[in-house]
Amino acid sequence: MDREPSFHNVVTIPARQTQTATIIFIHGLGQSNVTWRMVAAEALSPSLPHVQWLFPQASKRPVSMNQGLRRPSWFDIARLPPSPNEFDEYAISESIGLIEDLILSQGAALSMMVALTSLHDLGGVVSLSGWIPPRARHMIHATPTFPILWCHGIADREIPFTYGQEAIAFLRNTLRLPQSRLQLRAYDGLDHAINDAELNDVAYWLQCVLSG
């Protein structure tokens, strides 16, 4: 099966000063890179003038949880919350390869899997309401050394907060990621969405990581 590349449709925010870093933002199921570009341009980019932002767009593929409707998706998913055994290995591997090519929710899960399997020296990763698919963990081949910010709404019903807690435990206890490299931010009353407090936390974390 041929890879269906989607990177002809990458939207960007150029660095306004001398570029010292690049952030790749991976959107979630059914979402648009253009929408997230607008969010970042308003809430995140102004405080990071030396950063170039890249927003790849997933191609449309049949999504089982939507009765096969074709939606922007990095991999197939049968239900929400996802089953611990759910793992579209081919599509996850394919999408990891696409993001790797670019370096040379779904978005959060894929971002984490790219970061944990990449041979590139990444500066860090942010997960917004994500999880690490249990059946995908055999793909991880090294102990991460980069910092991680994990943000999750406690009221999330699509990717429950417990999924985030379990992923944090995996990072700490199995991968032995030092406590100093892993931050968890939980938001009372927040469902599968973002709010100003979360965006502020992301902006502050990025400033700290990219200035160090």
Which residue segments constitute the domains of the chain, with CATH numbers given?
Answer: 60-211 (3.40.50.1820)
Measured CA to CA, the distance from residue 106 to residue 96 in angstroms comes to: 12
Structure tokens at 151: 């943000």
Lowest mean pLDDT among 44-58, 84-98, 142-156: 84-98
Least confident of 7-21, 25-39, 57-71, 81-95: 81-95
Tell me what percent of the residues of the chain surpass a pLDDT of 90.
Answer: 65
105 is catalytic: yes
pLDDT band at residue 57 under the 50/70/90 scheme: very high
5 band by pLDDT with thresholds 50, 70 and 90: very low
Query: What is the average pLDDT across 178-202?
Result: 96
Helix (H, G, I), strand (E, B) or coil at 143: coil
- The burial class, CB within 10 Å (0-12 / 13-18 / 19+), for 189 is exposed
The answer on pLDDT for 65 being more than 60 is yes
Are 53 and 40 a contacting pair, CB within 8 Å?
yes
Q: What is the pLDDT of residue 6?
A: 44
Neighbouring CB atoms inside 10 A of 143's CB total 12
Output the average pLDDT for the chain.
89
192 included as an active-site residue: yes
Annotated catalytic residue 120: no
Give me the pLDDT at residue 82, please: 83
Distances (CA, A) of 54 to 27, 88, 147: 11, 25, 20
Q: Is the dihedral of CA 111, 115, 117, 122 positive or negative?
A: positive
Q: Other C-beta atoms within 10 Å of 41: how many?
A: 12
Q: What is the mean pLDDT of residues 147-174?
A: 96
Copy the structure tokens of residue 8.
């002809």
The stretch 186-192 carries a mean pLDDT of 97
Residue 4: is its pLDDT beyond 60? no
Tokens of 109: 């899960």
Catalytic-labelled residue, pool 59, 73, 105, 111: 105
Average confidence (pLDDT) over 32-53: 96
> pTM of the entire structure?
0.84
Rounded mean pLDDT, 9-32 = 94
Nearby residues of 72 by Cβ (< 8 Å), 6 or more positions away? 27, 29, 30, 31, 32, 57, 58, 59, 60
Least confident of 19-33, 94-108, 160-174: 94-108
Q: How many residues does the chain have?
A: 212
CA 6 from chain center: how many Å? 17
